[in-house]
């Protein structure tokens, strides 16, 4: 006698217990602490904050620990937590001119006010495994210099003065909020940027790369890439003015792109923009390229049918939490749908074989006919 | 759990979802965009259904969750536990005792009543999606009631296969206006879409809610000479002997032997408790022993 499979409840409990054990790993090895992750896996923490849309290094580090290092899973934990947080209000837009830059480079001008500063970059390291790190991680202190006191002007502002770059106009309208209103198309640029900044780094990188390889090529120069800490201010209604409520580290990338002009615009440089939480420059540059590609309509460019120009394609597929959930859900039970497909395919095959049966009789007896082979394959 | 609001979502979010539900009920079959929240379970796991359930559940409700017709499939267990934990509502496996039933891929065999709500989990709410990938285009097609593409697809199925080759998520027209995806229920369930209970459909990832009010007219798309046909495996249930229920097919031995049993576990259990025995079944007392 066969008894239908029961025991979903117990299976889940046991799976969770096993997962907890696996997360800890070999108990004779020291356990990772959340501060260790926050300090020593900072770029992973940054990615979780950026794609989780929540600036909190401690929570991001905790999520990474809980997710066993699976960053998309960690991002998911942060997103689910973020949903439950009450919203007190919106901040005043951050001023990146006031950034205390850890890094600031321009690919378009050899020097500019504020100077170039490499900062803590992998760029010119030789990618050789450092076996010393396997033993001990003590490092000598790095050289220090006086921090700049003055603001660091945007390099774009110098092109702006010459009228060479397409101007951006200020708008007083409140930007839409992707997390509080359903995505509706066509999307405005601020909404697109929101989607890109929390979009999957790999997806945005792939989209940006595709524009470089000719799918809606818009030849981008990195006019400026800056990384550093900016203060965040918020208007307090009771006070009647804005006060600083904290500071966040961000990466900002502005690209200057070739533009031949169109029916509506004279030849001039155009812009792409990327802004991401934390030190995430691969993501910020990618975002700027995709932003620029998505602006084809407002600049009067041709739609070349490239994936990176298609805002519906980009915005609907950039979110890794949506993507991974839907992708992985196909491992859930689908007995019912599959059963209905089974019945349908059996029925269609029965009918198809009934129709071809007379021809089978006239063919040789070795089973060489197509319907004979199909029958064999099915059995 | 006191850290979260009743049924997890905050009241403002529930209000937003309830508005979408009311709009959906007012325009049967129309997909209402709503600001779907990130839930603590993955997209694709029923986040739309969970949000709709969270918005309609009251403390006095009795909640039932089925996946593939069964209360004991792992994801049904997980969702039921979620609401036990966050809402503290009573739960049941008995269809008749539930006031809110969340389902994935099935409609219970037992007729539902006016005082019940059936909440569907929906993966892709757009019935035209696989004919037209762009949301901008499909919304336009719905607003113009431009459903020719769907009929061409069904016609092409017939000309190629001699039958409409859609076995689940079979498209329906609601109240003579909107073509609607009934979620991936087998087409066997389509006739049951005309029912006394309120039917709510939640698609979390796609940010859509739609509804079928009680006793609405729901017609499965077909042609006069190729009428819609609800189908199921041509067997009685091997456990309870039912001939009118949708069946799961199980492979029970190394020789590929098959067993057919009701996909609706509560229905099967109820029949066996009432003394019905199928070809491979045993009376329920012996089974328990």
Q: Does A305 touch chain B (CB under 8 A)?
A: no
Task: Say whether both A121 and A22 belong to one domain.
Answer: no
Task: Say whether both A68 and A108 belong to one domain.
Answer: no
Active-site entry in B49, B204, B268, B281: B268
Chain B residues close to A1, C-beta within 8 Å: 280-282, 287
Q: Does A182 touch chain B (CB under 8 A)?
A: yes
Task: Say whether both A190 and A294 belong to one domain.
Answer: yes
To test the contact with chain A by mutation, choose from B167, B268, B271 the residue with the greatest count of A C-beta atoms within 10 A, namely B167
CA distance A210 to A193: 18
- Residue B78 has a CB neighbour count (10 Å cut-off) of 17
Contact B168, B90 (CB under 8 A): no
Q: What is the pTM of this model?
A: 0.87
CA distance A258 to A348: 57
Task: Say whether both A153 and A106 belong to one domain.
Answer: yes
User: What pLDDT is recorded for position B288?
Assistant: 52
Contact B103, B68 (CB under 8 A): no
CA distance B61 to B163: 43
Domain membership of residue A88 (yes or no) is no
Contact B150, B179 (CB under 8 A): yes
The whole-angstrom distance between B197's CA and the closest CA on chain A is 22
Number of domains in chain A: 2
Give the nearest chain A residue to B161 (CA atoms). A348
Q: Which residues, numbered 45 to 64 in chain B, qualify as contacts with chain A under a Cβ-Cβ cut-off of 8 Å? A: 45, 47
Last residue of a domain, one of A267, A301, A318: A318
Active-site entry in B49, B204, B237, B270: B237
DSSP assignments along B41-75, one per residue: S-TTSSHHHHHHHHHH--TT-EEEEEETTBSSSHH
Last residue of a domain, one of A318, A350, A372: A318
Chain A residues close to B24, C-beta within 8 Å: none
User: What pLDDT is recorded for position B286?
Assistant: 59
With 90 as the cut, is the pLDDT of residue B114 above it?
A: yes
Q: Does A79 touch chain B (CB under 8 A)?
A: yes
Chain B residues close to A333, C-beta within 8 Å: 67-68, 73-75
Mean pLDDT score across all residues of chain B: 93
Task: Say whether both A245 and A198 belong to one domain.
Answer: yes
To test the contact with chain B by mutation, choose from A87, A195, A336, A351 the residue with the greatest count of B C-beta atoms within 10 A, namely A336
Percent of chain B with pLDDT over 70: 97
Task: Say whether both A117 and A66 belong to one domain.
Answer: no
CB neighbours of B287 closer than 8 A, spacing ≥ 6?
A1, A3, B272, B281
CB neighbours of A150 closer than 8 A, spacing ≥ 6?
A114
CB neighbours of B3 closer than 8 A, spacing ≥ 6?
none
Q: Which residues, numbered 134 to 173 in chain A, qualify as contacts with chain B under a Cβ-Cβ cut-off of 8 Å? A: none
Instruction: Specify the DSSP class assigned to residue A172.
Output: -
Chain B residues close to A334, C-beta within 8 Å: 68, 105, 184
CA distance A314 to A294: 9
Q: Does A180 touch chain B (CB under 8 A)?
A: yes
- Range list of β-strands (E), chain A: 100-105, 220-236, 241-257, 270-277
B74·A181 Cβ contact <8 A: no
Task: Say whether both A162 and A261 belong to one domain.
Answer: yes
User: What pLDDT is recorded for position A366?
Assistant: 45
User: What pLDDT is recorded for position B287?
Assistant: 56
Chain A residues close to B184, C-beta within 8 Å: 334, 336-337
Contact B44, A319 (CB under 8 A): no
Domain membership of residue A102 (yes or no) is yes
Give the nearest chain A residue to B252 (CA atoms). A2
CB neighbours of B47 closer than 8 A, spacing ≥ 6?
A325, B36, B39, B41, B202, B204, B205
Task: Say whether both A72 and A157 belong to one domain.
Answer: no
Average pLDDT value for residue range B9-38:
96
Place of tokens 């809110």: B100
Chain B residues close to A4, C-beta within 8 Å: 239, 250, 261, 265
Distances (CA, A) of B89 to A70, A84, B208: 34, 20, 26
Tokens encoding B33 = 């965009």
Question: Helix A201-212 to helix A320-328 angle, to the nearest 10 degrees?
Answer: 110
Interface pTM (ipTM) of the complex?
0.83
Contact B266, B71 (CB under 8 A): yes
Place of tokens 């037209």: B132
Residue B44 annotated in active site:
no
- Range list of β-strands (E), B131-272: 172-174, 178-180, 198-203, 208-212, 218-220, 247-251, 258-262
Task: Say whether both A183 and A269 belong to one domain.
Answer: yes
Task: Say whether both A273 and A213 belong to one domain.
Answer: yes
Residue B69 annotated in active site:
no
What 3-state DSSP class applies to A276? Answer: strand
Contact B45, A325 (CB under 8 A): yes
Q: Please classify residue A70 by burial: count the beta carbons closer than 10 Å to its beta carbon, then call 0-12 exposed, 13-18 middle and 19+ buried.
A: middle
Domain membership of residue A302 (yes or no) is yes
> For residues A124-142, b (16+ Cβ closer than 10 Å) or e, as one string?
eeeeeeeeeeeeeeeeeee
To test the contact with chain A by mutation, choose from B42, B66, B67 the residue with the greatest count of A C-beta atoms within 10 A, namely B42
Percent of chain B with pLDDT over 90: 82
Contact B218, B212 (CB under 8 A): yes
Q: Which residues, numbered 163 to 202 in chain B, qualify as contacts with chain A under a Cβ-Cβ cut-off of 8 Å? A: 163, 165, 167-169, 184-188
Q: What is the pLDDT along chain A (379 residues), one digit of tens a residue?
A: 334 446 678 888 999 999 999 999 999 999 999 999 999 999 999 999 999 999 999 999 999 999 999 999 999 999 999 988 888 888 999 999 999 999 999 998 888 888 899 999 999 999 999 888 888 778 889 988 888 888 999 998 888 888 888 888 888 888 899 988 998 889 999 999 999 999 999 999 999 999 999 998 888 999 999 999 999 999 998 999 999 999 999 999 999 998 777 776 678 889 999 999 999 999 999 999 999 999 999 888 888 999 999 999 999 999 999 999 999 999 988 888 888 888 888 888 888 888 887 654 444 444 444 443 333 333 3
Give the nearest chain A residue to B261 (CA atoms). A4
What 3-state DSSP class applies to B149? Answer: helix
Chain B residues close to A330, C-beta within 8 Å: 44
Domain membership of residue A168 (yes or no) is yes
Instruction: Specify the DSSP class assigned to residue A102.
Output: E
Domain membership of residue A308 (yes or no) is yes
Task: Say whether both A69 and A107 belong to one domain.
Answer: no
Domain membership of residue A192 (yes or no) is yes
Last residue of a domain, one of A318, A346, A363: A318
User: What pLDDT is recorded for position B231?
Assistant: 84
Find, among A198, A176, A173, A174, the residue nearest to A185 by Cα.
A176
Q: Which structural domain, as residue segments, surrounds residue A38?
A: 8-82
B163·A351 Cβ contact <8 A: yes
Supply φ then ψ for residue B54, to 5 degrees. Answer: -60, -35
Alpha helices in A215-369 (DSSP H): 281-294, 311-317, 320-328, 335-362
Task: Say whether both A77 and A103 belong to one domain.
Answer: no
Q: How confident is the model at residue B118 (pLDDT cuts 50, 70, 90)?
A: very high
State the DSSP H helix or E strand holding residue A25, giving kind and residue range, or none if neither.
none
Q: Please classify residue A167 by burial: count the beta carbons closer than 10 Å to its beta carbon, then call 0-12 exposed, 13-18 middle and 19+ buried.
A: exposed
Residue B202 annotated in active site:
no
Domain membership of residue A328 (yes or no) is no
Average pLDDT value for residue range B245-256:
90
Domain membership of residue A297 (yes or no) is yes
């Amino acid at each position: 006698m066969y008894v239908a499979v029961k025991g979903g409840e117990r299976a889940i409990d046991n799976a969770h217990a096993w997962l907890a054990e696996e997360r800890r790993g070999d108990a004779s090895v020291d356990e990772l602490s959340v501060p260790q992750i926050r300090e020593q896996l900072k770029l992973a923490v940054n990615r979780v904050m950026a794609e989780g849309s929540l600036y909190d290094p401690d929570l991001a580090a905790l999520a990474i620990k809980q997710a066993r290092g699976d960053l998309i899973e960690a991002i998911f934990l942060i997103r689910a937590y973020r949903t439950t947080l009450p919203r007190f209000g919106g901040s005043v837009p951050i001023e990146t001119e006031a950034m205390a830059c850890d890094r600031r480079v321009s690919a378009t001008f050899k020097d500019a006010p504020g100077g170039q500063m490499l900062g803590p970059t992998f760029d010119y390291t030789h990618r050789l495994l450092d076996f010393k790190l396997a033993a001990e991680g003590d490092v000598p202190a790095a050289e220090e210099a006086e921090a700049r006191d003055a603001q660091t002007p945007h390099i774009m502002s110098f092109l702006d003065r010459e009228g060479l770059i397409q101007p951006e106009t200020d708008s007083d309208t409140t930007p839409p909020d992707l997390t509080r209103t359903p995505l509706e198309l066509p999307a405005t640029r601020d909404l697109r940027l929101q989607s890109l900044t929390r979009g999957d780094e790999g997806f945005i990188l792939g989209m940006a790369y595709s524009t470089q390889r000719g799918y809606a090529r818009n030849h981008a120069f990195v006019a400026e890439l800056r990384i550093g800490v900016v203060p965040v201010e918020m208007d307090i209604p009771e006070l009647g003015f804005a006060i600083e409520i904290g500071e966040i580290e961000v990466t900002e990338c502005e690209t200057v792109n070739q533009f031949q002009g169109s029916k509506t615009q004279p030849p001039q440089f155009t812009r792409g923009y990327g802004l991401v939480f934390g030190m995430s420059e691969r993501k910020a540059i990618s975002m700027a390229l995709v932003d620029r590609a998505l602006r084809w309509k407002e600049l009067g460019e041709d739609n070349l049918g490239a994936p990176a120009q298609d805002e519906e394609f980009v915005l609907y597929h950039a979110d890794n939490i949506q993507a991974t959930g839907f992708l992985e859900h196909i491992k859930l039970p689908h007995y019912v749908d599959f059963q209905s497909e089974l019945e349908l395919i059996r029925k269609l095959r029965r009918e198809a074989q009934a129709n071809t049966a007379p021809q089978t009789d006239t063919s040789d007896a070795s089973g060489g006919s197509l319907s004979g082979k199909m029958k064999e394959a099915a059995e | 759990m006191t850290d979260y609001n009743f049924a997890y979502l905050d009241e403002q979010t529930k209000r937003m979802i309830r508005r979408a539900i009311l709009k959906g009920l007012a325009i049967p079959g129309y997909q209402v965009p709503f600001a779907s929240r990130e839930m603590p379970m993955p997209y694709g796991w029923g986040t739309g259904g969970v949000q709709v359930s969270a918005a309609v559940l009251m403390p006095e409700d009795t909640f039932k969750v089925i996946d593939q017709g069964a209360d004991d499939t792992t994801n049904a267990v997980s969702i039921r536990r979620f609401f036990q934990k966050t809402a503290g509502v009573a739960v049941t496996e008995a269809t008749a005792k539930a006031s809110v039933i969340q389902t994935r891929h099935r409609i219970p065999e037992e007729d539902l009543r006016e005082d019940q709500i059936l909440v569907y989990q929906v993966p892709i709410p757009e019935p035209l999606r696989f004919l037209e990938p762009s949301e901008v285009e499909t919304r336009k097609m719905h607003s113009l009631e431009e459903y020719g593409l769907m009929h061409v697809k069904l016609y092409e199925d017939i000309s190629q296969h001699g039958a409409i080759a859609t076995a689940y998520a079979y498209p329906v027209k609601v109240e003579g206006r909107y073509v609607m995806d009934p979620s991936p229920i087998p087409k066997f369930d389509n006739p049951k879409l005309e029912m006394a209970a309120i039917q709510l459909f939640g698609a979390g990832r796609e940010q859509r809610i739609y509804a079928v009010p009680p006793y609405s007219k729901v017609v499965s798309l077909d042609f006069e000479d190729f009428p819609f046909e609800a189908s199921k495996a041509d067997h009685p249930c091997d456990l309870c002997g039912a001939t009118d229920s949708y069946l799961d097919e199980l492979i029970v031995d190394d020789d590929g032997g098959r067993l057919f049993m009701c996909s609706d576990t509560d229905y099967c259990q109820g029949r066996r408790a009432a003394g019905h025995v199928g070809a491979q079944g045993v009376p329920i007392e012996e089974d328990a022993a």
